[in-house]
Chain A
Amino acid sequence: MNYFPDEVIEHVFDFVVSHKDRNSISLVCKSWYKIERCSRKEVFIGNCYAINPERLIGRFPCLKSLTLKGKPHFADFNLVPHEWGGFVLPWIEALARSRVGLEELRLKRMVVTDESLELLSRSFANFKSLVLVSCEGFTTDGLASIAANCRQLRELDLQENEIDDHRGQWLNCFPDSCTTLTSLNFACLKGETNVAALERLVARSPNLKSLKLNRAVPLDALARLMSCAPQLVDLGVGSYENEPDPESFAKLMTAIEKCISLRSLSGFLEVAPLCLPAFYPICQNLISLNLSYAAEIQGNHLIKLIQLCKRLQRLWILDSIGDKGLVVVADTCKELQELRVFPSDVHGEEDNNAAVTEVGLVAISAGCPKLHSILYFCKQMTNAALIAVAKNCPNFIRFRLCILEPHKPDHITSQSLDEGFGAIVQACKGLRRLSVSGLLTDQVFLYIGMYAEQLEMLSIAFAGDTDKGMLYVLNGCKKMRKLEIRDSPFGNAALLADVGRYETMRSLWMSSCEVTLGGCKRLAQNSPRLNVEIINENENNRMEQNEEDEREKVDKLYLYRTVVGTRKDAPPYVRIL
């Protein structure tokens, strides 16, 4: 099979970067498997319980970059209890013990402790990049260890984590010799920031391209920071309140004007809208704008800003932009690829006339030909609108629609939204991710099973009538990897129809459905390579072995494929069958 020496093949493999492709290469023959595994630098593990650290290191001893994901997606919405799992410490311990030359660690939905961070900071001399997304369990003390001990640190990116802010001096812990930072994001920290330390750090980091501040960094500090970092490409503005005096404002404007490389803007966590004009000069360069935390930027201020952003490719916004605002987006942002519209009034307490409807969605689809990803929270939708969107935008890769009220029908015809979503899956042949909502029967799942051939992730809530719905999806969507279902009437018949199917998927989540303990047990019996976890809501209801009622409905079921069997770190209220 090999016409070339190993080194040549390895060199060729260097050009193959995607995980999927490298996985395919390793399956060709034993020799390629061996060469590939010894040369693999980046490993992605979508479910930390599918494999264990020892086997990872055994196969990929030369790895430099590791990505790990822990809790299931619905953990983001408080559906997974505290301490369910996803602990990173065992991974770091194993990597340290085996002296892996780790340089980059990316974690999502994992539990990270200060102890883990301390160990991480001391164990890998070339460690360069730490990215934590939706993680929890650590404090600023852990960040201080990273700052103090990682001499080669380039990237510290904290996105939406729950961090206990001890108001220590973690920023001061970066030694004066640290000049290699390229990316620093601490927007999710809630406490006070040592602004002076931050300014000194930024001043000695000439390669800093991305800087995202938290609430506590005020306007005048922002002006100083931008003055010493005109090379910034990505900026997260922290606090932006208080009417500044004309002098501060002028300084800010001067600083901003010099940032000609700025392409991405976010933050505005607290905003005085009158300060926004300071950013007008660079709007024409922006390709990414995230105003989804800026509840105070509304109406005309927002419209004026957006009208200047003609090159925008990514926009994250609140629904206070309204349909009118979305029409402006559609008219202005012809390069738009990704749009996310978040709800500003989550509990429907206000009679919010400014919120978005199907009108805004159709306008965007008509005006933005390059749109391929959308997340849209709205109060109402119609089949006609979805059919129009499907016709305008057959290129969707991700389509996530969340109608705020469960079971809500087409608000004009009062019918279900089956036809609308059906049109989407039929037109968008490349669709990989879909979230459905509103009033939906089994019919929509028939359409999804028939047409959504590339679908990898599907989120279902309050939808469907019978087991047939879930069966249509499992039978039809051959590429399905993650299926998450809540509050839908799917039961054992659907769950058990094709047990082998689940080994072709990463995971299945079902909560508040009709599956019973008996069904889950039968599933687990025939599946040694699946972990079937039952998460029991009620502490008082812990089932005694001899008193079990197999007909009892399971509150939360999470199953996933694994090659390492039952995990040992589950809390008492998680039962692994």
Chain B
Amino acid sequence: MEVTNGLNLKDTELRLGLPGAQEEQQLEVSCVRSNNKRKNNDSTEESAPPPAKTQIVGWPPVRSNRKNNNNKNVSYVKVSMDGAPYLRKIDLKMYKNYPELLKALENMFKFTVGEYSEREGYQGSGFVPTYEDKDGDWMLVGDVPWDMFSSSCQKLRIMKGSEAPTAL
């Protein structure tokens, strides 16, 4: 960034492109139809990093029980939230600990989860994350060590205020 006389000239520079977008980062999203059709002749393309692969919904066309079964590196579980029409699915293996998981859930369903304490569970927001374990029992997310949780979690359910008992 050129800074001359204390002025940041780059900021006021007229150019094509969004302000602040210094690097070419290509992100591939669903429904993009154009990329591969043109041969890449420009040299600028070579310096761009390869497109980050975002996962396209329902692609490849493989049933979920196959996806889970065959790839031990992914572990998809269903996530439901009381009142939402759609269930979602997340891959537990993408997260290393509870804060990461909870943050992802909060983003996905647009809520906040409140304060966790061993004695009281989740307080303050009315949303309580729970999961079904291998024995079919519904448990509070956060009680057991992460590894134990991620290997036994079959399903997630975010319970809403009135339905979530204060003491589980």
Chain B: which residue is nearest A439 at the CB level? B36
DSSP class of B's interface residues: helix, strand, loop or mixed?
A: loop
With A292-B66, A347-B74 as known contacts, state yes or no: A79 contacts B60, CB within 8 Å: no
In the docked arrangement, what's the CA distance between A74 and B62, Å?
10
> A166 within 8 Å of B by Cβ?
yes
CB distance B58 to A79 under 8 Å?
A: yes
Contact B86 A77 (CB under 8 A): no
Q: Is the CB of A77 within 8 A of B63?
A: yes
Known: A166-B136, A407-B35. A77 touches B61 (CB 8 A): yes
Work out how many contacts link A and B, with CB atoms closer than 8 A.
103
Nearest CB of B to A41, in Å: 32
Q: Is the interface of A mostly helix, strand, loop or mixed?
A: loop
Q: Is the CB of A409 within 8 A of B30?
A: no
A346 at the interface (CB under 8 A from B): yes
- Chain A 158-200 interface mask (CB, 8 Å, partner B; 1/0): 0010001111000000000000000000001011000000000
CB distance from A75 to the nearest CB of B (A): 10
Is B31 interfacial (CB-CB < 8 Å)? yes
A347 to B85 Cα, complex, angstroms: 27
Query: What is the size, in residues, of chain B's interface with A at 8 Å between Cβ atoms?
Result: 35
Please tell me if the beta carbons of B70 and A344 are within 8 angstroms of each other in the complex: yes
| B154 beta carbon closer than 8 Å to chain A | yes
Among B2-10, B49-57, B114-122, B139-147, the one that faces the other chain is B49-57
CB neighbours of A471 from chain B (8 A): none
Across-interface contacts of B136 in A (CB, < 8 A) = 164-167, 191
Residues of chain B touching chain A, judged by Cβ–Cβ distance below 8 Å, are: 30-31, 33, 35-37, 39, 53, 55-67, 69-74, 84-87, 89, 135-136, 154
Residues of chain A with a CB closer than 8 A to B64's CB: 78
Q: Is the CB of B36 within 8 A of A408?
A: yes
Chain B: minimal CB distance from A111 (Å): 13
Contact B36 A407 (CB under 8 A): yes
Flag if B70 contacts A78 (CB, 8 Å). Answer: no
In Å, the complex CA distance between A189 and B9 comes to: 65
B62 contact from A164, A346, A349, A462, Cβ within 8 A: A346
- Count chain A residues whose beta carbon lies closer than 8 angstroms to a beta carbon of B: 52
Given A166-B136, A347-B71, 5 additional A-B pairs, CB 8 A: A79-B58, A293-B66, A295-B69, A402-B61, A487-B56
Within 8 A of B (CB), among A63-101: 74, 76-79, 81-83
Q: Are A342 and B62 in contact (CB under 8 A)?
A: yes
Chain A min CB distance to B160 (Å)? 15
Whether A407 contacts B33 in the complex (CB less than 8 A), given A188-B65, A269-B69, A414-B39, comes out as yes
- CA–CA, A348 and B69, complex, Å: 16
Residues of A541-572 at the interface with B, using a CB-CB cut-off of 8 Å, are 571-572
Q: How far is the CB of A438 from chain B (nearest CB, A)?
A: 10
Measured in the bound complex, the distance between the Cα atoms of B132 and A167 in whole Å is 13
Distance between Cα atoms of A408 and B154 in the complex (Å): 35
A344-B135 contact, Cβ under 8 Å, with A407-B37, A573-B85: no
Known: A512-B31, A539-B86. A343 touches B69 (CB 8 A): no
